[in-house]
Amino acid sequence: MSTTTISESRSPEILAPAGDKTAFLAALAAGADAVYCGLKHFSARMEAENFSLRELAQLTALAHAKGRRVLVAMNSLLKPHDLPAAGRLVDQLQRIVHPDGLIVQDLGFLDLVRQTGFSGEVHLSTLACVGNPAGLAAVQRLGVRQVVLPRELDLDEIKLMARICPPGLGLEVFVHGALCYAVSGRCYWSSYMGGKSGLRGRCVQPCRRLYSHEGRQGRFFSCLDLSLDILVKTLLDLPEVRTWKIEGRKKSAHYVFHTVAAYRMLRDDPGASRVKKDALELISVALGRPGSRAGYLPQRPHLPLDPLEQHGSGLLVGCIPKDAKTLFVRPRIALQPGDLLRLGSEDQPWHRIIRVSRFVPKGVRFELEQATRRGAKPGPCPPAGIALWLVDRREPELRRLLQVWEQELNQVLPDAGLQANEGGAGFQPAHAPARCRSHIGPSLFVPSLPRPLRKAPGTREMVVSRRPQRRQERTVQAMWLDPQFLERMAPATCRDLCWWLPPVIWPNEETLWLDALEQVRSFGASMFVCNAPWQSALFVAGAHSDREEIWAGPFCNTANALAVDALRRMGFAGAVVSPELDEESLLALPGSASLPLGVVLRGMWPLAVSRWQAEELHLEKPVISPKEETAWTRKIGQNLWVFPDWSLDLTGFQNKLESAGYRLFIQLHEKLPAGLRERPRTSAFNWNLRLL
């Protein structure tokens, strides 16, 4: 195993993605310092091919022989019944694969890592949404070695996070790759529409669709790629930024090789003009989407959105001529055997993937019908002028290089240490039940769960709104904290309300929230809801802290008993569980929870929370999907909220939930835009589904 750690390196490591063996070898061949990848389970990119334990063990052995590191992404939300399988997988990784670290988002994983005695580093995924600088200390106390920062931060905010970063904790910054429209960990769009959760790696990307809005069609939520390219030199002066991360675990070996090679050149020789030119050329042919610096430069922010243009991944090959009687293009680049071409986009009926079988010179007529005839079902004819894109390429030079690395991989004994570990006794949890303490094999790992809450308090109902509402008997009145609106509120009103913090607090506004919290606390407010675990760091201990009740809100994405117990150790008095859970999971969780639990029972639940608003997107106006689903947007502070026009409603299951042990039932009140009516349809979210 490699003995080199990040802290020993003078320059940031380049962390490359790999969704399959070929991409992994391409990352090594291009000079990546580390590779991150996922297994078949508990990964936030379940649509990638991913790896078996046996395959990853062999690849990791090769990487270590070359002095490179391997990180395994286990950044999935864990349901209550996932804990034994997830713990067993961590245990097997420790004994069989020996990765250098894990990337996680769920607080429950942190305790599983401790129980298995995992010896590598633990990194906190960008899905954990650590955006407020004060929260970094809270993260480090949980045993985290490195934090992956949100992709929406600008350079000044990254510098602020670096300045506050505690010694021993590292920061990881995305420098290239796809951008999600929503803040990572704050997207429920795919899950709300049908149970395919982005928090569990199953996102179907509804944000990429074509929507109708104010008389025009556009991809109002589909982002360009992030490409910092030559701007990465500004990160070299921040030693706390230990890792430059490239996104793309669903990308090809071609993409991985070219992007890694480009950023390695920009890191190793940032001042050479020839290097800049060569690196930009490599990025231009990497076959990603068009690049954007997004908001990285605070003095020159750029929205990574261009709704009225088609911006799929790939390199433009050409367009079908408008007067063409057959489908053909004259490619602007030469096509190689094995090239994959994309006609149209996935949400268009004529979309298809075409494999090139022979060399096609630049400018020579290429018939698409002949290329797609074999075994392909005839589809709708695309309109004239539609674009053809090169989406994957296996050029001869890269194929030959990867063959050399494949030969080296084959020399690594695939079963070295594997069979012995597969038959040996597994890790024994320190506090496992007596029946599990002897001869625990890999398939019998049983995590030690926290002691459940013995005597739960009585039930309460809470109504959360944007502005003060008329008090209801036996109901806790809550309000989203709004620093600007506080000026108009009487101290007595502030004292009697429960205050909710937003799902995201950005580095450049943390002081604003600290001041707002101090104001309502000085008036005597005593109940608060944090919507990221790290927001607890905003509650500086003082004379009023001993009587305060602080809950973890629903955006903390709490979904299992170990995560609840981590919140208890952080000082929370209760937790509102993730609304993504299905019936089985929701009813099972209170039986092993060490805190009182709450649940969002009814209200407008957001599809997504974003920091970006396209210029063509008008606030408070309907946006309609091809399936006639209507959404609308609202700007609150720096965040843009996207709502459906129908509400979450679990009121019919309240008795079941109360019998299971839930003690706080929440209604979210969101005033609809003028002229838009709430549709009679309601959603039980994933209640009736088996969340994938």
Digit-coded pLDDT (tens) for 246-274: 999 989 999 999 999 999 999 999 989 99
Out of 56-70, 294-308, 366-380, 468-482, which region has the weakest mean confidence (pLDDT)? Answer: 366-380
| pLDDT on residue 619 | 97
pLDDT at 683 over 80: yes
Task: Tell me the pLDDT tens digit for each residue of 611-623.
Answer: 999 999 999 999 9
Query: Mean pLDDT score of the chain, rounded to an integer?
Result: 89
Mean pLDDT computed over 401-408:
96
pLDDT at 372 over 60: no
Chain centroid offset of residue 476 CA = 33
| pLDDT on residue 49 | 63
d(C-alpha 465, C-alpha 467), whole Å: 6
Q: Which residues pair with 666 in a beta bridge?
A: 462, 600
- Would 623 be classed as within a structural domain? no
Q: Is the dihedral of CA 681, 684, 690, 692 positive or negative?
A: positive
pLDDT at 439 over 60: no
Q: 289, 313 in Cβ contact below 8 A? A: yes
Burial of 482 (0-12, 13-18, 19+ CB in 10 A): middle
The percent of residues in the chain predicted with pLDDT above 90, rounded, is 73
| pLDDT on residue 379 | 62
| pLDDT on residue 371 | 59
* pLDDT-derived band at 677, boundaries 50, 70, 90: confident
Task: Tell me the pLDDT tens digit for each residue of 227-239.
Answer: 999 999 999 999 9
| pLDDT on residue 436 | 33
- The identity of residue 79, as a single letter, is K
Mean pLDDT computed over 399-417:
84
Q: Are residues 236 and 351 in the same domain?
A: no
d(C-alpha 312, C-alpha 98), whole Å: 37
Out of 15-29, 342-356, 566-580, which region has the weakest mean confidence (pLDDT)? Answer: 342-356
pLDDT at 464 over 70: yes
Mean pLDDT computed over 629-646:
96
pLDDT at 417 over 60: no
Q: What's the CATH number where 61 sits?
A: 3.20.20.110
Q: Are residues 574 and 502 in the same domain?
A: yes
Out of 3-12, 357-366, 478-487, which region has the weakest mean confidence (pLDDT)? Answer: 3-12
- Would 104 be classed as within a structural domain? yes
pTM for this model (two decimals): 0.91
* pLDDT-derived band at 422, boundaries 50, 70, 90: very low
pLDDT at 86 over 80: yes
How would you classify the pairing of strands 225-227 and 170-177? antiparallel
- Would 349 be classed as within a structural domain? yes
* pLDDT-derived band at 378, boundaries 50, 70, 90: low
pLDDT at 544 over 80: no
pLDDT at 373 over 50: no
Q: Are residues 164 and 18 in the same domain?
A: yes
Name, of 44-53, 371-380, 530-539, the range with top average pLDDT.
530-539
Q: Are residues 29 and 170 in the same domain?
A: yes
Tokens of 106: 């769920």
Helix and strand numbers, DSSP H then E, in the chain: 17, 32
pLDDT at 433 over 60: no
* pLDDT-derived band at 418, boundaries 50, 70, 90: low
- Would 593 be classed as within a structural domain? yes
Q: 80, 592 in Cβ contact below 8 A? A: yes
CA-wise closest residue to 121 among 136, 94, 100: 100
Task: Tell me the pLDDT tens digit for each residue of 664-673.
Answer: 999 999 999 9
| pLDDT on residue 40 | 79
| pLDDT on residue 350 | 82
Mean pLDDT computed over 575-593:
96
Mean pLDDT computed over 530-549:
84
* pLDDT-derived band at 2, boundaries 50, 70, 90: very low
**Structural domain boundaries enclosing 489:** 472-599
pLDDT at 566 over 80: yes
pLDDT at 444 over 90: no
| pLDDT on residue 42 | 81
| pLDDT on residue 442 | 47
310 vs 101, residue with greater confidence = 101
| pLDDT on residue 540 | 76
pLDDT at 691 over 60: no
Domain boundary among 249, 268, 287: 287
- Would 1 be classed as within a structural domain? no
Tokens of 448: 């030690």
Q: Are residues 264 and 387 in the same domain?
A: no
Tokens of 76: 């999935």
Q: Are residues 195 and 332 in the same domain?
A: no
* pLDDT-derived band at 326, boundaries 50, 70, 90: confident
pLDDT at 155 over 90: yes
Provide the strand spans (E) within 127-251: 146-148, 170-177, 211-213, 216-218, 225-227, 241-246
| pLDDT on residue 300 | 87
- Would 17 be classed as within a structural domain? yes
Q: Are residues 239 and 155 in the same domain?
A: yes
Out of 194-203, 410-419, 518-527, 622-631, which region has the weakest mean confidence (pLDDT)? Answer: 410-419
Domain boundary among 392, 410, 439: 392
pLDDT at 6 over 60: no
Q: Are residues 387 and 266 in the same domain?
A: no
Task: Tell me the pLDDT tens digit for each residue of 182-219.
Answer: 999 999 999 998 888 889 888 989 999 999 999 999 99
Out of 46-60, 467-481, 640-654, which region has the weakest mean confidence (pLDDT)? Answer: 46-60
Q: Are residues 161 and 255 in the same domain?
A: yes
Q: 412, 58 in Cβ contact below 8 A? A: yes
- Would 63 be classed as within a structural domain? yes
CA distances from 535 to 58, 64, 221, 483 (A): 41, 38, 28, 16
* Count of domains for the chain: 3
pLDDT at 317 over 70: yes
Q: Are residues 282 and 374 in the same domain?
A: no
Mean pLDDT computed over 623-629:
91
Q: Are residues 515 and 478 in the same domain?
A: yes
Q: Are residues 139 and 194 in the same domain?
A: yes
Provide the strand spans (E) within 184-310: 211-213, 216-218, 225-227, 241-246, 291-292
- Would 444 be classed as within a structural domain? no
- Starting at the earlier edge strand, list the strands of the sheet with 315-319: 315-319, 387-392, 340-343, 352-355
Domain boundary among 392, 409, 427: 392
d(C-alpha 593, C-alpha 450), whole Å: 7
